[in-house]
């Protein structure tokens, strides 16, 4: 059976293009894909961050729409991209915290670590719900339970302001909702502060992100260090 080798790893051609996909393509492949108008992603080294991709798409659309005085025309997709990015960031942190709770239980199996495990409803919300308020409540609750520092305090107000403009989580995806489609989403004029929402969203995500240079106790940093410690403990527990 012939030996299999990992594909070569390439750096991105620009440092500004690595927030969604960390590694790049060969210069020849990149030029060919640009010429053919195709995107190439996935595999061992080129998994995208969905949350950062939606955030960046909103950022690009806002910049383009402002330059072309086109914010009204692109308001709904921009708002949707912002909302979906925020939902994915919250769910990403939630999933990691739930993993921490399970690893702690695997290590200790105590009354407290069992109590800290997420409920079936919480796990279901992680995969099925688009309700930002409930997902945020889950995030705050599990952060406190596990004593993981760094929860972004500006997050609840941003969610509240986003939900001020929508009457349900699909408001920016469809023109109407309800079983009979009679709940029209834009019966009256709506004023969306897209730029303000985006600036606050970017700030919250930046403040929660792991920054190796600053060394601050952000949510992502707290999660990273705790998971790393638990993984080492679990490895040590496994017999040779």
Contact 130, 87 (CB under 8 A): yes
Contact 51, 92 (CB under 8 A): yes
pTM above 0.85, yes or no: yes
Q: How many domains does the chain have?
A: 2
Mark whether 224 and 156 lie in a shared domain: yes
Clarify whether residues 82 and 8 are in a common domain.
no
Per-residue tokens: 113: 């670590």
Strand partners, 11: 23
Q: Are residues 36 and 65 in the same domain?
A: no
State whether 205 and 118 are in the same domain: yes
3 state SS of 15:
helix
Positions of E strands within 81-229: 176-177, 183-184
Residues present in the chain in total: 240
Q: For position 6, what pLDDT does the model report?
A: 65
List per-residue pLDDT tens for the chain, 240 residues long: 555 656 778 887 765 667 898 888 888 998 998 999 999 999 888 899 999 999 999 999 999 999 999 999 999 999 999 999 999 999 999 999 999 999 999 999 999 999 999 999 999 999 999 999 999 999 999 999 999 999 999 999 999 999 999 888 889 999 988 777 678 888 889 999 999 999 999 999 999 987 756 566 899 999 999 999 999 998 887 765
Q: How confident is the model at residue 56, as a pLDDT?
A: 95
Q: Are residues 69 and 10 in the same domain?
A: no
Identify whether residues 116 and 224 lie together within a single domain.
Answer: yes
- Tell me: the pLDDT tens digits for 1-36? 555 656 778 887 765 667 898 888 888 998 998 999
Query: DSSP string covering 79-97, please?
Result: HHHHHHHHHHHHHHHHHHH
- Both 36 and 135 in one domain: the answer is no
Q: Which domain holds residue 84?
A: 57-237
For 97-114, write each residue's pLDDT tens digit: 999 999 999 999 999 999
């Amino acid at each position: 059976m012939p030996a299999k080798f990992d594909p070569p790893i390439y750096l991105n051609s620009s440092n500004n293009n690595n927030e969604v996909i960390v590694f790049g393509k060969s210069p020849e492949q990149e030029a060919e894909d640009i010429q053919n108008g195709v995107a190439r992603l996935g595999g061992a080294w080129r998994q995208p961050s969905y949350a950062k991709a939606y955030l960046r798409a909103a950022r690009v659309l806002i910049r383009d729409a402002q330059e072309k005085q086109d914010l009204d025309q692109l308001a709904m997709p921009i708002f949707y991209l912002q909302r979906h990015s925020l939902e994915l960031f919250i769910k990403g942190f939630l999933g990691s915290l739930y993993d921490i709770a399970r690893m702690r239980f695997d290590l200790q199996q105590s009354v407290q670590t069992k109590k800290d495990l997420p409920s079936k409803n919480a796990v279901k919300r992680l995969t099925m719900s688009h309700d930002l308020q409930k997902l945020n409540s889950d995030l705050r609750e599990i952060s406190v339970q596990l004593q993981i520092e760094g929860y972004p305090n500006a997050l609840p107000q941003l969610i509240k302001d986003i939900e001020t403009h929508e009457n349900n989580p699909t408001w920016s995806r469809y023109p109407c909702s309800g079983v009979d489609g009679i709940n029209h989403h834009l019966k009256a004029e709506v004023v969306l502060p897209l730029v303000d929402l985006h600036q606050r969203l970017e700030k919250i995500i930046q403040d929660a992100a792991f920054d190796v240079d600053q060394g601050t106790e952000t949510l992502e940093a707290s999660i990273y260090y705790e998971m790393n410690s638990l993984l080492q403990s679990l490895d040590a527990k496994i017999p040779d």
